[in-house]
Each structure stands twice: as structure tokens, then as C-alpha cells.
Amino acid sequence: MTTVDFERLYSGDPDPWRVATDWYERRKIEVVLACLRRERYGLAWDAGCGTGDLAARLAPRCARLVATDVSPAAVQLTSARCREFAQVEAEVSALPAVPASVVGHADLVVLSEVLYYLAPQQRQECAQALVDACAPAGDVLAVHWSARPEEALDSGLDCHRELDMRMLRAGFGRLLAHRDVEFTLTMWSRDVPTTVGR
């Protein structure tokens, strides 16, 4: 169970975190895109798509993008935001569930600002869900506000430390870690280069 009623939140305000206008949000999306190591991905999963602003920026780099959210209102917002991209499929799905079409096939999974709203047991199951979702060379990227948001259970930093431990135990390597005064970003993969500049 999440700590926030996202359906009520999105129904009352189509952009409750000002993703389309706030500099923090816009900067975060630019950094996420810059950190992706591949120019193109086959199948990507945006788990917790919210307003769809990140999905819309990811879409041109993906042959197919599955965007999910626990909130039907958020899924409607994402569908509208991404209507120009035929490769985007938006559907209602709550973490730690993995859409059937994604299991074992995701070349990229993105978690943005969702983990700290999940209970500890859900976060543990979510880590396994990420492993299950990925193709053999799939990348997992998580990005969160470093502090602890209102109504969240933990800080972004704590969630990343926890997820990092679980991903490493599952055989994933850390491709990069970015931390600044605002947000924390980490990316993992089983496909870690053995030489620099591969």
C-alpha cells in the first residue's frame, strides 16, 4: 500500500508536482536522458509514469515504451501527453507488479520518484520485479529527490542505498551513480563493460 492517494491527487490537479514547468523536474529529466548509455532501446518500461512528461521524452529513443501507473488518472494524462507516439502504451499497473508484456524483455526500466512511497516489503518485491522485467542486457535507472518527501516513508538516498544492495546481490553491476544537492540517480545492468570506452 502506498502512502499517497495518487488517484485523488491527479484528479484534483493534472500536474501536482509541476513537472512541465518546475526547473527541478525539467533538469532531472534532462539528466536522466543524458545518463542513458544507448541511443535507442527496443522495449522500455516507465514504471510510475505520472504525468507522462518523462515518457514523452523517452519515446523517441524507444521502439516500444510501456508506461504504467497505479493511478488511472495518471495513465489518462500519460496517454494524452504521448498521443503523438504510436509506440507508447499506457496502462494501469501498481508496483511491484510487472506488465506481462514486459517480463524478461525490457531493455530499459525507469523508476522516477516512486520508491519512497512504497512500504519496505513492497520495495523488496519491487527490486525482484526489476530483475524479472529485464532482458539479459537490460538497464535499470532509478532517480529520486534525495530528501524525504512529505508522506513518503524514506528518503531518496535511503531508497537508492537499499535498491543498490539488492541489485548488486542479484548480479547487476552499477553503471553510474549521480548525486547532487537535489536528486540521486543510479543505473544498473547485468551488461557491464569490462573495458572503458567499449
Domains in the chain, please, with CATH?
Answer: 6-189 (3.40.50.150)
Average confidence (pLDDT) per 10 residues, the chain, 198 residues? 63 68 89 97 96 96 97 93 97 94 97 92 94 97 88 87 96 94 95 74
164 grid coordinates: 543498490
118 grid coordinates: 512504497
The Cα 6–Cα 81 span in angstroms is 18
Residue 8's pLDDT is what? Answer: 73
pTM of this prediction exceeds 0.75 = yes
Whose CA is closest to 163, among 140, 183, 191, 180? 140
